[in-house]
Amino acid sequence: MKVLVPVKRVVDYNVKVRVKSDGTGVDIANVKMSMNPFDEIAVEEAVRLKEKGVVTEVIAVSCGDAKCQETLRTAMAIGADRGILVETTEELQPLAVAKLLKALVDKEQPQLIILGKQAIDDDANQTGQMLAALADLPQATFASKVEVAGDKATVTREVDGGLETIQLSLPAVITTDLRLNEPRYVTLPNIMKAKKKQLDTFKPEDLGVDVKPRLKTLKVSEPPKRGAGIKVPDVATLVDKLKNEAKVI
């Protein structure tokens, strides 16, 4: 069984992002970048399935500029067998990424696609669902447990009311939640081994995909600073202010 795992290069989750002075976006100059945490969980899950003998090959995929090779090497250090980079300098929106992944699904014919439920930069939570729709595949989002047996996958997913368990026919798309697993620590020997693994590069035009942005960002701004609180003398005053000033009750 072949598994495709898309990974995204994002600003590291420990970094406090800053908005550019002209409001056109987030400043990423000289900022530490790393693999999207949800995608790291997806790579770990694919590698664990391989270690169980369920999966034979794990392919990591990234879309973006040449620096995304670092993210792919990290995925290969975790345990992915090879990497594919779709290199472009265009701003990639979820639909464009889903179309690129659909082209790679047609090319590689994986039985399973595992990706993070969302990226921590745009928080769109759209790519997995769009890919499933474009490829006409069953999907399970927000997975907290994945079991694969034969041509079926049993997925426990987190919903508002608790947990839901569903069964999918393979091939299928699964998006990962935080509680699915804890990614392993990448060791130096594995980092060195990853440098020798195969990494193929394509352009969007090689895959016949138009990645032109469909949405335009008008302005990016920081959330307003929280105002100072006030003390009230009694409960009656508190209720009055909540009802008449804050208008929350």
Tokens of 121: 């930069």
CATH code, domain carrying 197:
3.40.50.620
What local confidence, expressed as pLDDT, does residue 170 receive? 93
DSSP letters, 90-150, are SPPPHHHHHHHHHHHHHHH--SEEEEES--TTT----HHHHHHHHHT--EEEEEEEEEEET
- Hey, is 220 helix, strand or coil? coil
Task: State the Cα–Cα distance between residues 242 and 76, nearest whole angstrom.
Answer: 54
What local confidence, expressed as pLDDT, does residue 126 receive? 94
Domain of 180?
Answer: 2-223
- The answer to the question of residue 124 being in a domain is yes
pLDDT in tens, 13-35: 998 888 888 888 888 888 899 99
What local confidence, expressed as pLDDT, does residue 133 receive? 96
- The answer to the question of residue 119 being in a domain is yes
- The answer to the question of residue 249 being in a domain is no
- The answer to the question of residue 244 being in a domain is no
Q: How much is the pTM?
A: 0.85
For the chain, 249 residues long, give each residue's pLDDT as a single digit of tens: 999 999 999 999 998 888 888 888 888 888 899 999 999 999 999 999 999 999 999 999 999 999 999 999 999 999 999 999 999 998 899 999 999 999 999 999 999 999 999 999 989 999 999 999 999 999 999 999 999 998 999 999 988 888 999 999 999 999 999 999 999 999 999 999 999 999 999 999 999 999 999 888 888 888 888 888 889 999 999 999 999 988 888
What local confidence, expressed as pLDDT, does residue 203 receive? 94
- The answer to the question of residue 38 being in a domain is yes
What local confidence, expressed as pLDDT, does residue 6 receive? 96
- The answer to the question of residue 50 being in a domain is yes
What local confidence, expressed as pLDDT, does residue 137 receive? 96
Split into its structural domains, the chain has a count of 1
Give the N- to C-terminal CA distance of the chain in Å, as an integer.
Answer: 55
